[in-house]
Structure 1
Amino acid sequence: MKKYLFNKFISCIVILTLIVSVGIKLYSVFTFPEIEDWNYKQIKKIDETHNSYSFAVFGDNRDSITTFNNLIHKLNKDSIIFAIDVGDLVEDGEKEKFRFFINQIKKVNKPFLTVIGNHELRENGRANYYQMFGRFYYSFTVGKSYFIILDDANEKRLDLWQLDWLKKELKKSQSYKYRFVFMHVPLYDPRKGGDKKGHSLKDVTFARYLNKLFDKYHVSMLFCSHIHGYYKGYWQNTPFIITGGAGAKLAGTDPSHYFYHYIKVNISEQGVQYEVVRLNTPDFELIDRLLHDTGMFIYAFIAIHFDIIIIIGCIYILILLYFKQDKIKIMYHA
């Protein structure tokens, strides 16, 4: 009797798994369409003739639904003309998780650009990112401002090709009034003081070199995230803002640094102003994040391994039917 009940239980689990798998696969196909060259297409939507305008910067939304959705809702009501997410878009770089993120940001009613972060590199993420978002580093202009997006997702340094490209871009940017640079991992960790190792570029010698390069070409502001909080200051002569408050778990409890937010950058003929826009932290944020992580793991696992799950399930059912048929034959002959 126990064996019979156990077999029934396993059969129900297998059938339920097959039904859920088919449902998730259909949901994935029809809800998350394939995309490519996302950033290039978003840049094309930006009106480059503006001289007075606002844009938003934020990062580290990777394991959030409620807070990140609140941020999106606020962006849609804000007077910005575009937004830049400075990396850690997803928990890891599985394609289905990128597609889930894209489904979130499709609700934004302004152009939305991305920077690659270290979490995007996991699970073959670099290839998936390139396929969906396009180039790892790129530049564009709006009015009298020059925007440079970098890839330091390896948390160490820029490769030689990118470094050569950056030098050329910085030279070109000199004819513009403002120069904004975006990269996920900061040069240094402001919590450590000076240029000591921290949650920042591991190659400190290269960080110093990059710092001098930014100083030389008078970068107006360097935007980073990676540290889940808010910091503002100067690295030598280069001003920086760390904005890692888009939804991932905050890195501390100091209310002056650790809160959910985005940065609104206001550009006019008079200059540039940086406004911190705070977001509410919901009481159920921890539960929300736990449910998100669990749900994303199950969803991504089934969506990615759908074929294997279906094959194993079908084999199990065929074996079950075979033995059941064999049992009927024995009973009939008896």
Structure 2
Amino acid sequence: MGFTHKILWMSDLHQTVSGQVEGVNSRTRLRQVIDQMNRYHPDAACCVVSGDLTDTGTPEEYAALTDRLASLNTPLLPMIGNHDNRENLLAALPYSGSGLESYYQYRFDMDENVSLLCLDTALPGSDAGAFDPVRLDWLAQRLHDTADRRVLVFTHHPPGPLGLGLLDDMPLLDHQPFIDLIANAPQVEHLFCGHVHRPVSGVIGGVPFTALRSIAHQTRPPHQTWDWSNFVAHDERPQYAVILIGPDRIIVQMTDIEDPA
């Protein structure tokens, strides 16, 4: 049995102008992951980046980011996170596909069978996320329109707690309507989340989900005692994921960056 689609996925780039963030060089790490993607996965159909593309959302950071992304040979599907600025992101990296006006939320059709829904969960001024009625209605309509297709959903914020301590204080707020919506859409085969900088998988509302590490710095495992006042990035390798779609399965391969700087 062969796989019909390959998608690359990375999250939480936290790009700065200098490259420095939380004691690591996120610029160098992004270059390393792009080099790996270009070398090992030239056949990928697209690369989804599920939010926190920059660290503070300034125009200067987006200019540096777009310069660094120019070397990626795979079509890019960017998304918004809590560290991003919606206006500046829309100006720097307009999304492709059909989307929701004034939000960074869109549908991308890979072919006549598979669609990706890249959602905007940003809540300006907060590290937590939101999915207001406008965004929820758009999602409901897209799920109605894709009833005869296979659908993968990407968000920045996970919908509710994942057992990650302090990170559970800033999920997608009021997430139950979102969970109910995707749980009642049988074509939704998998949910992919960013934000937590941890490799986590499970099932939410009957829908399998996956989160992965950041391209930049990693948060600490939940069994460690820490708070944001004494946070130190955990010494784990950054990672991206390779998503393979076959006739009867979806495979998510976590892939560490080789020898990260």
TM-score range, shorter chain: 0.7 to 0.9
Q: Please, what is the CA RMSD of the aligned residues?
A: 2.2
Q: Is the 8 A contact 2:162 2:168 kept in 1?
A: no
Structure 1 stretches of at least 4 aligned residues deviating more than 3 Å after TM superposition: none
Instruction: Provide structure 2 residue ranges, at least 5 long, that are not aligned to the other structure.
Output: 16-25, 95-102, 223-234
Correspondence 1:200 to 2:159 = no
Partner of 1:130: 90
Letter in 2 for 1:230: P
SS at match of 1:232: strand
Distance in 2, Cα, partners of 1:161 & 1:236:
22
Letter in 2 for 1:278: D
Partner of 1:66: 28
Shift of 1:281: 5.0
Q: Is the 8 A contact 1:67 1:246 kept in 2?
A: yes
Letter in 1 for 2:5: Y
Partner of 2:156: 184
Distance in 1, Cα, partners of 2:203 & 2:92:
34
Partner of 1:309: none
Letter in 2 for 1:133: L
Q: Which protein has the larger Cα radius of gyration, Structure 1 or Structure 2?
A: 1
Q: Is the 8 A contact 2:131 2:178 kept in 1?
A: no
The correspondence for 2:258, drawn from 274, 277, 280, is 280
Partner of 1:228: 197
The correspondence for 1:141, drawn from 109, 124, 136, is 109
What TM-score, normalized by structure 2, do the two folds share? 0.78
Q: Is the 8 A contact 1:260 1:281 kept in 2?
A: no
Partner of 1:103: 67
Distance in 1, Cα, partners of 2:249 & 2:259:
32
CA separation of 1:187/1:253 partners in 2, compared to 1, >3 Å: closer, same or farther? closer
Correspondence 1:261 to 2:243 = no
Post-superposition Cα deviations, 1:122-148, rounded to whole Å, max 9, x if no partner, equal: xxx221112222351010211311111
Letter in 2 for 1:91: D
SS at match of 2:120: coil
State, as a whole percentage, how many aligned pairs show the same letter.
Answer: 22
Post-superposition Cα deviations, 1:22-71, rounded to whole Å, max 9, x if no partner, equal: xxxxxxxxxxxxxxxxxxxxxxxxxxxxx812011110111402221111
- Relative to its length, the structure with more strand (as a share) is 2
What TM-score, normalized by structure 1, do the two folds share? 0.62
SS at match of 1:175: coil
Shift of 1:244: 3.4
CA separation of 1:208/1:258 partners in 2, compared to 1, >3 Å: closer, same or farther? farther
Distance in 1, Cα, partners of 2:175 & 2:60:
33
Partner of 1:314: none
Instruction: Provide structure 1 residue ranges, at least 5 long, that are not aligned to the other structure.
Output: 1-50, 286-334
Partner of 2:54: 90
What number of residue pairs does the alignment pair up? 220
